[in-house]
C-alpha cells in the first residue's frame, strides 16, 4: 500500500467531529490608505517617496549610476545600466534593482510582487538594495482584500515584501540586511 | 536531588539554572518578544476575531484533511510540482535523499524547517555525503556550534553575542573579540551568499499549503528561503499534513497573525508563494505524517495540530523562559513542544514542566488549548502507568489520602499544630523540592471547614 493510502486510512480514525469553514468577514479600515501604508512601511524599516513619481526615481537611479553602481530596472520608463542576465547567478553584483509592485497593503506595509516582472525570481532578494514602484491606487486596506486581488497563475511565483531583509538572531539586536536587500525605498506613482 | 545525567526535565533545567544571571537574561529577552506581541495584537481591533477565525479554519481543515490534501496534490501536479508522501521521518529522509542523489547534489541550502529537525534529516544526508547548510542566521549559528535549536523561531536565543563572536572568529575568521551584532551579521551574509551561489539544491519548510491553488507559502525575515529556492534549479519543500489551508483568503488570516504573534512585526519581511518551479527547474513537495494522524485520533491532542509555529507560547511560558529549550527532550520546546512531543518522552517528566497557568493558550493565535492538552498528557501518562520517577510512588497515595475526609482533616490538623510549634529547620525536609526556594506557610488557626461552620454555617 502506498504511504499516501496509509495516511488516508489513518485519517479515517480521526476523533474530532467535522467543523464548518468560518466566514472570513472583517471590515477593512479604509481611511487614508496611503498614510496607513506609509506608517506601516516605516515600522518594517522601509521608506516611502510620495512625491515626484518616476522622474524622482530616475534622478536617484542616475545618481547611483554616476557613482558606479550596478542597476537593473524592470520598470518601464526607468533606465538602469544592467540587463537581465542569462543565469540568475550573474545578478550577484547588482547594487540596486528597480521592480514594479502590484499591490500595497496598508495594514502591514507589504507589497505584492509577481515573478512576471522580475526577470529572474531571485532579483528582489539578490540585489543589495531594492527600489519598488507602486501606484497609489493599488494600495488596499488589508490582507483579505489583497488575497482577492493578488495575481498568481499556475506555475508562477509571487511574494509579499515588507521592508528590507532583517534579522534579530544575535541577542535580539535588530540588524537590517541579512540575506536579501539591505534597504527598501518605495516610489509612489 | 542533585544535578545528574538524568534527562528528566527538572534535572536538565537545573543545569540551565546554575547561572542565575543568564536565566534572568534569557527570561527578559523572551519577555521582550511577548511585549512586542501584545503591542501588535492590541493595535488590531479585529485581533480576537482573527484568532477565532484562525482556530475554526484550522479545525475545519483538520477535519477535512483527506479532501484538502487530495485537492492540493491534484493542483500541484497540474502546476508541474512533484508531490511525495511520507509516513514517518525515515521515509521523508529517504525520499529527500533519492531526489538529491538523482540530481547528484553535493550541497543543499536549507531554510528553517522544524519538520526536517523533527525527522533528523541533516545527519542522515551528511552521512550520505551531502553537505547541508542551514541558512537562517540563528540556525547557522547553532549549526556551526553543533547544537540543536533552543527555540522554534529564534533558535540561538540562548547564546550571548560574545559567544557568537568567538564562534564566528573560529569558523568564519571574523576579528577576535568582535561581538557587534551588525558586524557579525554582515560576516554571516558574506559567508552565506557564497553558499547560496554554490548550492545544487534548496530546501525549505512550509508555513501554509494552499489547496485550491497548489501552492506553498514560505515566510522568512531574512529572505534566506528565497535566496535558496530561486538560485539552484532544484527546490524541495517539506510539510506536515497539518499545513494545508483551503485557499488564499484563509492563508491571509494566518499571515496576519503569524508574525504579529511571533515577534510583533505586522507581517514577516518575505511571504512567498511558490506555485510551480522556475523555468527549467524542478519543484518537489514532501507531505509528511510522522505521528500526526496518531494525534488526530485523540480529540484533545488533535487540537495541537492547529499550531502555526509562531513560538508565542514559548515566549510567554514562565517555565520555558527559566529552564531553556534544551530541558524538554524534544526538538520543539515549551508548551507546544510538550503538546506534540510528550508521547515520545521516555522520562515521562515533560508534561510536568508546566504550571498550568494558561498563558500559552491565552496568547495562541489559533486558540490551541495548550494547558488543557498538557493536563491531558498527565492523565495519559498516569493511565499508562508511566508517572515519572518519584511521582509514581506517592501520587496514588496522595489520591487516596485526598479522597478520605477523615484522613485529610486529621493530618491537616497535625500539620497546623506542627507549623506552629516546630522550628522550620525540622519541618523543611518534609516539604521536599517545593520548600527549596520557599518559606513554609504561616498556619491558620483553624481549617476552612471549621471557619465556615462557625461564621456562615
> Are B227 and A2 an interchain contact pair (Cβ–Cβ within 8 Å)?
no
Last residue of a domain, one of B359, B391, B423: B391
Residue B96: list chain A partners with CB under 8 A.
Answer: none
Q: Does the pLDDT of residue B1 top 50, yes or no?
A: no
Split at pLDDT 50, 70, 90, the class of B188 is very high
The total of structural domains in chain B comes to 3
Q: What is the rounded average pLDDT of the residues A52-63?
A: 97
A24 — contact with chain B (CB < 8 Å)? yes
Helix (H, G, I), strand (E, B), or coil: what is residue B145? coil
**Residues, chain B:** 457
Do B9 and B81 lie in a common domain? no
Q: What is the rounded average pLDDT of the residues B266-274?
A: 98
CA gyration radius, chain B:
25
Assess if residue B47 is contained within a domain.
Answer: yes
Assess if residue A114 is contained within a domain.
Answer: yes
CA distances from B53 to A18, B254, B256, B375, B419 (A): 16, 9, 12, 25, 52
Assess if residue B398 is contained within a domain.
Answer: no
Best A7, A88, A162, A170 residue to mutate vs chain B (most B CBs within 10 Å)? A170
What confidence tens digit (pLDDT) does each residue in B108-140 have? 999 988 999 999 999 999 999 999 999 999 999
Last residue of a domain, one of B340, B356, B391: B391
Best A159, A164, A181 residue to mutate vs chain B (most B CBs within 10 Å)? A159
Which segment of B82-91, B184-193, B439-448 scores lowest on mean pLDDT?
Answer: B439-448
Q: Does the pLDDT of residue B4 top 60, yes or no?
A: no
| CATH number of the domain within which B324 lies | 1.10.1060
Do B71 and B162 lie in a common domain? yes
CA distances from A100 to A54, A74, A111, B258 (A): 11, 7, 10, 26
Do B252 and B343 lie in a common domain? no
The answer to whether residues A91 and A127 touch, using CB atoms and an 8 Å cutoff, is: yes
Assess if residue A124 is contained within a domain.
Answer: yes
Q: Which of residues B449 and B269 earns the better pLDDT score? A: B269
> Are A10 and B59 an interchain contact pair (Cβ–Cβ within 8 Å)?
no
ipTM: 0.98
Assess if residue A10 is contained within a domain.
Answer: no
| CATH number of the domain within which B268 lies | 3.40.50.10420
The alpha-carbon gap from A88 to the nearest alpha carbon of chain B, in Å, equals 6
In whole angstroms, give the CA distance from residue A77 to residue A119: 16
> Are B78 and A20 an interchain contact pair (Cβ–Cβ within 8 Å)?
no
pLDDT score, position A102: 98
Q: What is the DSSP string of A47-80?
A: EEE-SSHHHHHHHHHHHHHHTT--EEE-STT---
The alpha-carbon gap from B33 to the nearest alpha carbon of chain A, in Å, equals 9
Split at pLDDT 50, 70, 90, the class of B269 is very high
Q: What is the rounded average pLDDT of the residues B377-399?
A: 86
**Which of B32, B247, B273 minimises the CB distance to A157?**
B273
What confidence tens digit (pLDDT) does each residue in B319-375 have? 999 999 999 989 999 999 999 999 989 899 999 999 999 999 999 999 999 999 999
Assess if residue B73 is contained within a domain.
Answer: yes
**Residues, chain A:** 189
pLDDT score, position B3: 42
pLDDT score, position B395: 81
Which structural domain range is residue B288 located in?
Answer: 34-293
Residue B248: list chain A partners with CB under 8 A.
Answer: 147-148, 150, 152
Q: Does the pLDDT of residue B2 top 80, yes or no?
A: no
Assess if residue B434 is contained within a domain.
Answer: yes
Burial of A117 (0-12, 13-18, 19+ CB in 10 A): middle
The answer to whether residues B137 and A178 touch, using CB atoms and an 8 Å cutoff, is: yes
As a whole number, the mean pLDDT across chain B is 94
| CATH number of the domain within which A62 lies | 3.40.50.10420
Split at pLDDT 50, 70, 90, the class of B441 is confident
The total of structural domains in chain A comes to 1
Last residue of a domain, one of B293, B324, B356: B293
- The A residues from 137 to 176 touching B (CB cutoff 8 Å) are 142-144, 146-148, 150, 152-173, 175
Name the residue of chain B whose CA is nearest to A120's CA: B230
- The B residues from 287 to 326 touching A (CB cutoff 8 Å) are 287, 289, 293-294, 296-299, 302-303
Assess if residue A26 is contained within a domain.
Answer: no
B283 — contact with chain A (CB < 8 Å)? no
Residue B196: list chain A partners with CB under 8 A.
Answer: 179
Assess if residue B131 is contained within a domain.
Answer: yes
Do B413 and B372 lie in a common domain? no
Cell 509516513 sits at which residue? B87
pLDDT score, position B260: 98
Do B16 and B43 lie in a common domain? no
pLDDT score, position B5: 63
What confidence tens digit (pLDDT) does each residue in B289-302 have? 999 999 999 999 99
Percent of chain B's residues with pLDDT above 70: 99
Q: Does the pLDDT of residue B191 top 70, yes or no?
A: yes
Which structural domain range is residue A68 located in?
Answer: 31-188
pLDDT score, position B334: 97
Assess if residue A16 is contained within a domain.
Answer: no
Taking phi over 0 as left and psi of -120 to 50 as alpha, with beta for the rest, B272 belongs to: beta
Q: Does the pLDDT of residue A1 top 80, yes or no?
A: no
Which segment of B48-57, B104-113, B154-163, B397-406 scores lowest on mean pLDDT?
Answer: B397-406
Give Dmax (Cα) for chain B.
86
Q: What is the rounded average pLDDT of the residues B62-80?
A: 98
Best A171, A177, A181, A183 residue to mutate vs chain B (most B CBs within 10 Å)? A171
In whole angstroms, give the CA distance from residue B335 to residue B305: 13
Assess if residue B42 is contained within a domain.
Answer: yes
- The B residues from 123 to 182 touching A (CB cutoff 8 Å) are 135-138, 141, 154-157, 159-161, 164, 181-182
Q: Does the pLDDT of residue B378 top 80, yes or no?
A: yes
Do B210 and B242 lie in a common domain? yes
pLDDT score, position B388: 81
**Which of B59, B80, B241 minimises the CB distance to A16?**
B59
C-alpha cell at B328: 524538554
The alpha-carbon gap from A31 to the nearest alpha carbon of chain B, in Å, equals 15
Taking phi over 0 as left and psi of -120 to 50 as alpha, with beta for the rest, B330 belongs to: beta
> Are B269 and A161 an interchain contact pair (Cβ–Cβ within 8 Å)?
yes
The strand pairing partners of B83, in sequence order, are: B285
Do B92 and B108 lie in a common domain? yes
Q: Which of residues B112 and B169 earns the better pLDDT score? A: B169
The answer to whether residues A71 and A95 touch, using CB atoms and an 8 Å cutoff, is: yes
B39 — contact with chain A (CB < 8 Å)? no
Cα of A46 vs its chain's centroid, Å: 11
The answer to whether residues A145 and A180 touch, using CB atoms and an 8 Å cutoff, is: no
pLDDT score, position B457: 72
Q: What is the rounded average pLDDT of the residues B24-39?
A: 96
Do B255 and B140 lie in a common domain? yes
C-alpha cell at A21: 469553514
Do B123 and B191 lie in a common domain? yes
Going by C-alpha positions, the residue among B79, B48, B24 that lies closest to residue B273 is B79
Assess if residue A152 is contained within a domain.
Answer: yes
Residue B231: list chain A partners with CB under 8 A.
Answer: 88-89, 122, 126
Assess if residue B352 is contained within a domain.
Answer: yes
Assess if residue B247 is contained within a domain.
Answer: yes
Measured from the Cβ of residue A50, the count of other Cβ atoms closer than 10 Å reads: 13
Q: What is the rounded average pLDDT of the residues B201-210?
A: 98
Amino acid at each position: 500500500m502506498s504511504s499516501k493510502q496509509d495516511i488516508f486510512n489513518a485519517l479515517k480514525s480521526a476523533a474530532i467531529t467535522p467543523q464548518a469553514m468560518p466566514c472570513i468577514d472583517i471590515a477593512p479600515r479604509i481611511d487614508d490608505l496611503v498614510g496607513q501604508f506609509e506608517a506601516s512601511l516605516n515600522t518594517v524599516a522601509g521608506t516611502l517617496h510620495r512625491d515626484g513619481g518616476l522622474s524622482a526615481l530616475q534622478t536617484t537611479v542616475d545618481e547611483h549610476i554616476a557613482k558606479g553602481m550596478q542597476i537593473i530596472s524592470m520598470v518601464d520608463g526607468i533606465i538602469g545600466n544592467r540587463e537581465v542576465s542569462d543565469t540568475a547567478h550573474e545578478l550577484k553584483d547588482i547594487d540596486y534593482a528597480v521592480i514594479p509592485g502590484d499591490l500595497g497593503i496598508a495594514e502591514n506595509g507589504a507589497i505584492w510582487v509577481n515573478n512576471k516582472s522580475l526577470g529572474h525570481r531571485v532579483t528582489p532578494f539578490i540585489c543589495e538594495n531594492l527600489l519598488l514602484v507602486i501606484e497609489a491606487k493599488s494600495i488596499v486596506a488589508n490582507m483579505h482584500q489583497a488575497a482577492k486581488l493578488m495575481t498568481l497563475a499556475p506555475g508562477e511565483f509571487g511574494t509579499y515584501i515588507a521592508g528590507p531583509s532583517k534579522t534579530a538572531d544575535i541577542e535580539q539586536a535588530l540588524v537590517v540586511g541579512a540575506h536579501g536587500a539591505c534597504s527598501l525605498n518605495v516610489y509612489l506613482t | 536531588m542533585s544535578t545528574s545525567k538524568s534527562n528528566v526535565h527538572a534535572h536538565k533545567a537545573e543545569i540551565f539554572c546554575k547561572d542565575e544571571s543568564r536565566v534572568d537574561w534569557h527570561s527578559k529577552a523572551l519577555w521582550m518578544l511577548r511585549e512586542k506581541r501584545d503591542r501588535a495584537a492590541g493595535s488590531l481591533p479585529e485581533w480576537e476575531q482573527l484568532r477565532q477565525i484562525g482556530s475554526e479554519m484550522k479545525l475545519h481543515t483538520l477535519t477535512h484533511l483527506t479532501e484538502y490534501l487530495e485537492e492540493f496534490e491534484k493542483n500541484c501536479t497540474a502546476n508541474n510540482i512533484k508531490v511525495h508522501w511520507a509516513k514517518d521521518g525515515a521515509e521523508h529522509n529517504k525520499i529527500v535523499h533519492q531526489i538529491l542523489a538523482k540530481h547528484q547534489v553535493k550541497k543543499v541550502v536549507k531554510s528553517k524547517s522544524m519538520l526536517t529537525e523533527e525527522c533528523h534529516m541533516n545527519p542522515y544526508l551528511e552521512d550520505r555525503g551531502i553537505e547541508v547548510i542551514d541558512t537562517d542566521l540563528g540556525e547557522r549559528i547553532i549549526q556551526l556550534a553543533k547544537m540543536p535549536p533552543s527555540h522554534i523561531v529564534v533558535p540561538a536565543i540562548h547564546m550571548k553575542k560574545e559567544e557568537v563572536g568567538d564562534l564566528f572568529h573560529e569558523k568564519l575568521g571574523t576579528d577576535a573579540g568582535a561581538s557587534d551584532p551588525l558586524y557579525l551579521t554582515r560576516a554571516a551574509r558574506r559567508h552565506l551568499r557564497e553558499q547560496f551561489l554554490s548550492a545544487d539544491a534548496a530546501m525549505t519548510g512550509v508555513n501554509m499549503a494552499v489547496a485550491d491553488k497548489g501552492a506553498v507559502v514560505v515566510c522568512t525575515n531574512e529572505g534566506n528561503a528565497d535566496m535558496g529556492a530561486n538560485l539552484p534549479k532544484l527546490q524541495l519543500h517539506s510539510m506536515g499534513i497539518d499545513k494545508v489551508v483551503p485557499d488564499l483568503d484563509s492563508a491571509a488570516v494566518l499571515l496576519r497573525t503569524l508574525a504579529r504573534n511571533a515577534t510583533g512585526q505586522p507581517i514577516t519581511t518575505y511571504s512567498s508563494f511558490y506555485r510551480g518551479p522556475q523555468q527549467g527547474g524542478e519543484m518537489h513537495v514532501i507531505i509528511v505524517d510522522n505521528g500526526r494522524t496518531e494525534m488526530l485520533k485523540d480529540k484533545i491532542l488533535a487540537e495541537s495540530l492547529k499550531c502555526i509555529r509562531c513560538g508565542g507560547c514559548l515566549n510567554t511560558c514562565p517555565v520555558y523562559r527559566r529552564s531553556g529549550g534544551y530541558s524538554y527532550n524534544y526538538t520543539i520546546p515549551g508548551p507546544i513542544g510538550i503538546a506534540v512531543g510528550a508521547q515520545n518522552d521516555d522520562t515521562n517528566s515533560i508534561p510536568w514542566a508546566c504550571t498550568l497557568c494558561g498563558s500559552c493558550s491565552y496568547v495562541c493565535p489559533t486558540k490551541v488549548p495548550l494547558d488543557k492538552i498538557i493536563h491531558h498528557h498527565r492523565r495519559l501518562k498516569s493511565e499508562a502507568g508511566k508517572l515519572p520517577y518519584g511521582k509514581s510512588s506517592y501520587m496514588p497515595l496522595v489520591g487516596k489520602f485526598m479522597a478520605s475526609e477523615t484522613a485529610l482533616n486529621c493530618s491537616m490538623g497535625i500539620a497546623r499544630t506542627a507549623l506552629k510549634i516546630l522550628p522550620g529547620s525540622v519541618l523543611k525536609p518534609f516539604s521536599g523540592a517545593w520548600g527549596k526556594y520557599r518559606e513554609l506557610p504561616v498556619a491558620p488557626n483553624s481549617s476552612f471547614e471549621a471557619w465556615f461552620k462557625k461564621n456562615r454555617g
